[in-house]
Amino acid sequence: MNNKYLILVNKNNPMPDEIKFNIVETDSKYAKDRPLEEKTFEAIKKFRNYAKENGYVIDIESGYRSKDYQQKVWDELESEKGLEYTKRFVAVPGYSEHQTGLAVDVVLYENGKWFEDQKLKGHPIVDFLKNNCYKFGFIIRYPEGKENITGYGWEPWHLRYIDDVDKAKYIMENNLCLEEYLGN
């Protein structure tokens, strides 16, 4: 693959051992220990500033996760919400985009508190993310209506860095998911 940032990690494609990304610490104000791949972090900082200029305060809720940490996320959600719910929204360890460091779950700060994940649905920030993330090399990884292709429920807060603004724009303008774009 020419662009390692277009790696496909999903329910059928595990994170390949041979691909390594430079993972760095971030400056998330939401929480500590939210590392990301280096270029992804630089891009999300620029997007965060752009969002602020447009009246939104977003930050990093989740980024890079080791396989062990992904197992912890799986186990906690399964215990809290059950297996079927967990399978809709959380990747099996080894098959998580978060293991690349290229995936960023964002949160919105509004009215003195953080709104994360499901609480963003129906908020104008969802349209802002969808209409602007490509400008920084991101796509909405799990778009609405693509659940049967991605294998996951709609997650408008889950951004995926692909390091190519033109390709990100094409994906977003054509309402594609990464599987469709890559022909998988």
Place of tokens 């908020």: 123
Q: Is 155 a catalytic residue?
A: yes
Q: List C-alpha distances in Å: 166 to 118, 163, 170.
A: 29, 9, 6
Query: In the 8-state DSSP scheme, what is residue 60?
Result: E
Tokens (6 digits) for 164: 């190519």
Distance CA 160, CA 127 (A): 16
Tell me which of 155, 173, 179, 180 is the catalytic residue: 155
7 in Cβ contact with 19 (< 8 Å) = yes
Question: Which residues make Cβ contacts (< 8 Å) with residue 75, sequence separation at least 6?
Answer: none
Question: Which residues make Cβ contacts (< 8 Å) with residue 37, sequence separation at least 6?
Answer: 21, 22, 23, 24, 64, 100, 101, 102, 161
Distance CA 54, CA 44 (A): 15
Distance CA 68, CA 72 (A): 6
Residues recognised as catalytic: 155
